[in-house]
Amino acid sequence: MKKFFAKLYIWVLLVILYAPLVFIAVFSFTESKVLGSWEGFSTTLYHNLLTGQMQGNASLLAAVKNTVLIALAAAFISTLLGTVAAIGIHNLKGRRKKAVTLLNNIPMINPDIITGVSLFLLFVFLHFSQGYLTVILAHITFCTPYVVLSVMPKLQQMNPNIYEAALDLGATPSQALRKVLVPELKPGMVSGFILAFTMSLDDFAVTFFTRGTIGLDTLSTYIYTDARKGGLTPELRPLMTLIFLIILILLVIINVRQDRINKQTVQR
Amino acid sequence: MSKRSNWSIPYVIFLVLFVVLPLVLVLVYAFQDNQGRFTFGNIAKFFSDRDALSTFAVSLEVALENTVLCILIGYPAAWILSNRKLNRSAVTIVLFILPMWINALMRTLATAQLFTMLGVTLGKGTLLFGMVYDYLPFMIYPIYNVLAKMDKSYAEAAVDLGATPWTAFWKVTVPLSMPGVASGILMVFMPTVSTFAISEFLTNNKIKLFGTIIQENINSSMWNYGAALAFIMLVIIGITSLFNKDKEAEGSLL
């Protein structure tokens, strides 16, 4: 009985959580301009989206491209910067370690809007013209702390002697780095990268304040402008449905892989 | 191995340039007039600005209600998810995080549209619903993490020593899970206060939250007043993070 109510509670929450997504997905199969009015089954929106034939809305595809490129760049650089930083912080001691850890926490505690406004003021102050570069820099700022936090536990779990052993056995420091340290840290780096990538994809406020006036749009700012004008581009519906499906498939793959890794470690 | 600590230097420089300096600039701009002279005028303006003050009060109220609702709804969910007897698959917890990968603005707009279709008038109620909807995963996840790692033998020991399961839950499990609740509060409260766009979409522009006022001022080139409002928010963040000393728990999201 207890189990029944527990399951019911979880399922009710999940149904509410997924209702808007299902709503979008269902109405991606009708041609109507407005979300919520049904004008018969049609796959026209999918066709328009995939062939890029949208009346005056080609900028949606540009926004998608920008979003992905910015997220890839930000995730890649913050993974590099964060991993190197984590190795450094791991080897710091006492008050210095505390100070750097505290600094690393600030971007995570700050709400998006503070990060956005403060970086906006920085770029204004430095007379730095805002565009792709400033958005990527801003994204690196709020992504890197999460990479550091993902890599740190791997450093703590690692036996420091194996790196020394590689050196003793004749490896150069760069060989020891590539063949010993990086493989040990890789799981942390991968989860840091994924985290950074998804945070960048979903960001709205920071991008909004750092994109400048050159007309740079990511998916978030595009949706915002679109909604303020009244009426969303209908092709957003199939786009969101496709994104959701891709993520669902990716997560299933990751989970199956994780399960396999867990089983392997148990066997070891 | 000692040289390894130098590897943190590039990141420290980066943090100083892109985190510390911007925050210092918020402070500088907040206490300057548009001629660059020192002034308390911006802060004074806030305290005499009825609109800003009432928005501020509304934001704190909505954030408080949202946080309480997230705890009330999220805690049982996290508890059920972490309980091996009630939930065996790790997939369920993934299902709770999955919607966060879909653009928040899009989800919010769809929620608002869904309400309109069901004939619900957009206002305070729909705002709270949407906020809970957006922030619930941020409350569930840290609590779940703490509960999942918790040593169950404490609660079992309490029951063995004669406590009812209910007492054991309130006196053992709940206090031990407080770090999770605390980092959940940190991830829900301030982000709610600072929300912009989402509140307008959910209330059809009837209710503004503090984030919107900051955005409006910055976008209409009132940088100094915008910075002063951001500074006021930073002060509150400072106060709330004093309540949350367990910094390690913050990384618990994912």
Residue B39's pLDDT is 85
- CA–CA dist B157, B145 (Å, integer): 22
Higher pLDDT, B97 or A152: A152
Q: Please provide the DSSP assignment of chain A as one string.
A: -HHHHHHHHHHHHHHHHHHHHHHHHHGGGB--SSTT----B--HHHHHHHHT--TT-THHHHHHHHHHHHHHHHHHHHHHHHHHHHHHHHH--HHHHHHHHHHHHHHHHS-HHHHHHHHHHHHHHTTPPPSHHHHHHHHHHHHHHHHHHHHHHHHHHS-HHHHHHHHHTT--HHHHIIIIIHHHHHHHHHHHHHHHHHHHHH--HHHHHHSTTS----HHHHHHHHHHHSS--TTHHHHHHHHHHHHHHHHHHHHHHHHHHHHHHHH-
- CA–CA dist B136, B70 (Å, integer): 5
B136: closest chain A residue by CA: A17
Closest CA of chain A from B184, distance in Å? 12
Residue A265's pLDDT is 67
- Among A119-133, B97-111, B194-208, B240-254, the range scoring the smallest mean pLDDT is B240-254
- CA–CA dist B114, A19 (Å, integer): 9
Higher pLDDT, A44 or A90: A90
Model confidence band, residue B71 (pLDDT cutoffs 50, 70, 90): very high
Query: For the residues A66-84, what does the mean pLDDT come to?
Result: 95
Closest CA of chain A from B113, distance in Å? 7
Are the beta carbons of B86 and A137 separated by less than 8 Å?
no
Which B-chain residues 50-69 have CB contacts (< 8 A) with chain A? Answer: none
| A156: amino acid identity, one letter | Q
Residue A233's pLDDT is 83
Q: CB distance from B194 to chain A under 8 Å?
A: yes
To 10 degrees, the CA torsion angle through A79, A84, A90, A95? -100
Which B-chain residues 130-189 have CB contacts (< 8 A) with chain A? Answer: 133, 136, 186
- CA–CA dist B55, B73 (Å, integer): 26
Model confidence band, residue B14 (pLDDT cutoffs 50, 70, 90): very high
B252, pLDDT greater than 50: no
HEC profile for B93-157? HHHHHHHHHCCHHHHHHHHHHHHHHCCCCCCHHHHHHHHHHHHHHHHHHHHHHHHHHCCCHHHHH
Higher pLDDT, B11 or A176: B11
B250, pLDDT greater than 50: no
- CA–CA dist A145, A122 (Å, integer): 20
| Token pair in block for residue B167 | 């007492």
Mean pLDDT, chain B, rounded, equals 85
Model confidence band, residue A108 (pLDDT cutoffs 50, 70, 90): confident
**Are the beta carbons of A240 and B106 closer than 8 angstroms?**
yes
Terminus-to-terminus CA distance in chain B, angstroms? 30
| Token pair in block for residue B47 | 């305290």
Domain ranges of chain B: 49-253
Closest CA of chain B from A54, distance in Å? 19
Residue B75's pLDDT is 94
Domain boundaries B49-253, CATH class: mainly alpha
**Are the beta carbons of A20 and B114 closer than 8 angstroms?**
yes
Report field, pTM of the whole predicted structure over 0.80: yes
Largest Cα span, chain A: 73
Are the beta carbons of A9 and B104 separated by less than 8 Å?
no
Instruction: Give residue-wise pLDDT tens across range B145-198.
Output: 888 888 888 888 988 998 888 888 888 888 888 888 988 888 898 888 888 888
Query: For the residues B7-31, what does the mean pLDDT come to?
Result: 93
Query: For the residues A8-17, what does the mean pLDDT come to?
Result: 91
Mean pLDDT, chain A, rounded, equals 87
Contacts of residue A93, Cβ cutoff 8 Å, sequence gap at least 6? B5
Which A-chain residues 55-94 have CB contacts (< 8 A) with chain B? Answer: 81-82, 84-85, 87-93
- CA–CA dist A21, A185 (Å, integer): 36
- Among A243-257, B87-101, B221-235, the range scoring the smallest mean pLDDT is B87-101
A80, pLDDT greater than 90: yes
Minimal Cβ distance to A227: which of B14, B86, B201: B201
* Helix, coil or strand: residue B11: helix
Q: Which of the listed ranges A31-35, B80-84, B131-135 does the model predict with the highest average pLDDT?
A: B131-135
Residue B247's pLDDT is 45
Residues of B within 8 A of A140 (CB-CB) are 14, 18
Residue A31's pLDDT is 81
CB neighbours (10 Å) of residue B168?
20
Residue A42's pLDDT is 81
B235, pLDDT greater than 60: yes
Model confidence band, residue A118 (pLDDT cutoffs 50, 70, 90): very high
Residue A266's pLDDT is 61
Model confidence band, residue A33 (pLDDT cutoffs 50, 70, 90): confident
- CA–CA dist A215, A236 (Å, integer): 19
A198: closest chain B residue by CA: B101
Q: What is the ipTM of this complex?
A: 0.85
Query: For the residues A72-101, what does the mean pLDDT come to?
Result: 92
Are the beta carbons of A224 and B105 separated by less than 8 Å?
yes
Q: List the beta bridge partners of residue A41.
A: A30
Are the beta carbons of A202 and B100 separated by less than 8 Å?
yes
Instruction: Give residue-wise pLDDT tens across range A176-210.
Output: 888 888 888 998 999 899 889 988 988 999 999 99
Calculate the alpha carbon distances from A111 to A85, A169, B194, B212 in Å: 23, 49, 7, 13
CB neighbours (10 Å) of residue B238?
10
